[in-house]
Structure 1
């Protein structure tokens, strides 16, 4: 396996989420690869550093605001419940199932087809990556985040919205950290700048706080000044995060 493939699996390796075969493959690669072994050590240090920190989840209001942003898009794809009479025989069920399959297939083909009826590979790729964002494996979600940064642009609003959702709600710190790094590519978008500021106000993981501080200072987002000052005054914030704040605050003054 290539180093990139192994590094995608390191988070799940540490969480003991890999299959026996995958675990053996990762350990065999680590024995011969100094770079991947170093990557694993750095990831272990990160996990150790944040393991004792309280994990505050974003507020219900924050989730409601984000979900409202996507409500119109999701409403168009909302599945409809079909009521079937219990007295209907099995052949009728099959006919209904076949009809649903035909309708769904036609919908998908139409959704990803251009004006000439050809399947749009860009739309299909977007759908593939969006599906990977929901994968149970943290490594797969990190891979989706990395793909988003490498393959998509600010015009791909669905991808940006998916990255913001990972930033706000993913329970895995490594995934949220990857989402922050990916979103730094899209800071020309107002929705991204707002999301980064809100994340700085709610996320309690020091590694993510530091990454957010650096990005917001780099783009000179003055709206971040107030939440940064609050972090500096917060006695629960680690000293090394406060040092990062003190180094970057002058860029916003």
Structure 2
């Protein structure tokens, strides 16, 4: 038996109608209440939850950041104490090692800067004084450092350290060093090779 398309469509429609009628009767007979579920999109609740998560995560990260800062501060303080102690060591090599490590500190570490200036002025070892001058050049933005370098040039007797100071002062463009350098250039006691460095670096300060 072959059914055409029209008959199939009518049969399907009748079945659907009969099923819906039977379902309605059963619901009415048994007193079943049909509740249509409509998902409610409470975006305010979602927003509150999201905000809470952000607050918790932010608090965690802030606490971790503060902890890291505290650890770094403690480490810096300990490192500073070690460097300051080594700068007073009887061994010149250890003092030079301390100076090399001192370059890693910031200009806010005034104790380190003052200790380096002290080495520049009073250390008996010329290599230590040269190392101190080089380390101080890293803090040349500080006026106390520039003043110390100029004063050291005026009082330093070792020609090697003098040359280091001349080069550093020219490099940082400290024009106040111009007169002391010119004075050294005119001084008959100034070694010729030091004068050559003066002649080489003076023009950059003019």
* Equivalent-residue separation in structure 1 for 2:189 and 2:71 (angstroms): 56
- Aligned residue number for residue 220 of structure 1: 173
User: Where do 4+ consecutive residues of structure 1 move more than 2 Å?
Assistant: none
| Length-normalised TM-score, structure 2 | 0.64
How far residue 222 of structure 1 moved from its aligned partner, in angstroms, is 1.0
Equivalent residues, number? 137
How far residue 124 of structure 1 moved from its aligned partner, in angstroms, is 1.4
The reply on whether 1:186 has 2:186 as its aligned counterpart is: no
- Aligned residue number for residue 123 of structure 1: 77
- Aligned residue number for residue 64 of structure 2: none
Cα shift readout 1:155-198 (whole Å, capped 9, x = no counterpart): 11110110000000000001001101111111011000000000
The reply on whether 1:177 has 2:130 as its aligned counterpart is: yes
What residue ranges of structure 2 are gaps of 5+ in the alignment? 1-66
How far residue 229 of structure 1 moved from its aligned partner, in angstroms, is 0.8
* Equivalent-residue separation in structure 2 for 1:169 and 1:200 (angstroms): 13
C-alpha RMSD of matched pairs (Å): 1.7
What residue ranges of structure 1 are gaps of 5+ in the alignment? 1-113
Structure-to-structure mapping, 1:120-199, within 5 angstroms: 120-148=74-102, 150-199=103-152
SS of residue paired to 1:237: coil
Structure of higher CA gyration radius? 2
* Equivalent-residue separation in structure 1 for 2:79 and 2:156 (angstroms): 30
| Length-normalised TM-score, structure 1 | 0.52
Residue pair 2:137, 2:172 contacting (<8 A) in 1 also: no
The reply on whether 1:207 has 2:160 as its aligned counterpart is: yes
